[in-house]
A and B are shown apart, each in its own frame.
Chain A
Amino acid sequence: MELGTGGNLEVMDCLEYQHLISAQLDGDMTPADIIEAERHLGSCARCAVVYNDLRTIVAEAQHLPPFVPDERLWLRLRAQCENENLVRTPSKPAWRWAGWFQIQTWPKTAWATGFLAVLVVSASIWLFSGLPLVRKAPSRDAAAEVQATNEVRLAEQNYLQAIDSLQKITDSRMAQMDPGLKSVLEDNLATIDYYIDKCRESVKNEPSNALAQRYLLEAYRKKVDLLASIVHSDVL
Chain B
Amino acid sequence: MRRLLLGALVCALVFYIGDISPLSAAGNDRFEKRFPVSPNPTVILTNDNGVVTVRGLHRNEVHIVATKRSPNVEVDTESLGNRLRFDTHWFDKNMKPQERTVDYVLEVPETTSMEIHNVSGRVKVDGVAGGVTIDSLNSAIELSNIGGPMILRSVSGNMSIARSSGRIEANSITGDLQFADVASQSVDGSTTSGNISFEGSFYDNGRYSLSNYSGTIDVAAPADSSFELDARSVKGSVQSEIPLKSKPHYNFNPALMKQSLLGIYNDGAAAVHLSSFSGKIRIRKK
Contacts and interface: CB of A to CB of B under 8 A. Distances in A.
Interface residues of A, number: 43
Interface string B250-279: 111110100000000000000000010110
Nearest to B95: A178
A185 B213 contact: no
Contacts of B156: 184, 187-188
Contacts of A202: 234-235, 277
Interface string B158-189: 00000000000000011000000000000000
B192 A191 contact: yes
B181 to A, nearest CB: 27
A215 interface: yes
B277 A209 contact: no
B156 to A, nearest CB: 6
Interface string B25-64: 0000000000000000000101010000000000000000
A3 interface: yes
A185 B155 contact: yes
A71 interface: no
A66 interface: no
Nearest to B252: A137
Binding site secondary structure of chain A: helix
B23 interface: no
A195 B277 contact: yes
A83 B247 CA distance: 11
B155 A137 contact: no
Interface string A103-144: 000000000000000000000000000010011011110000
Contacts of A5: 115, 133, 135, 151, 153
A9 B135 contact: no
Given A5-B135, A222-B192, A235 B119 contact: yes
Nearest to A223: B173
A234 B151 CA distance: 19
B277 A199 contact: yes
Given A2-B117, A212-B234, A235-B117, A181 B173 contact: no
Interface string A204-229: 00001111100100010010001001
A83 B275 contact: no
B232 interface: yes
Contacts of B111: none
Nearest to A79: B250
B241 to A, nearest CB: 23
B174 A187 contact: yes
Given A2-B117, A211-B275, A235-B117, A9 B85 contact: yes
B164 to A, nearest CB: 19
A219 B213 contact: yes
Interface of A: 1-5, 7, 9, 80, 83-84, 131, 134-135, 137-140, 178, 180-181, 184-185, 187-188, 191-192, 195, 198-199, 202, 208-212, 215, 219, 222, 226, 229, 234-236
30 contacts: A3-B135, A3-B155, A4-B153, A5-B133, A83-B250, A137-B250, A137-B251, A137-B252, A178-B96, A180-B97, A184-B120, A184-B137, A184-B138, A184-B155, A185-B137, A187-B156, A188-B174, A191-B173, A192-B173, A195-B193, A198-B213, A199-B234, A202-B277, A208-B253, A211-B256, A212-B234, A215-B277, A219-B213, A222-B192, A229-B155
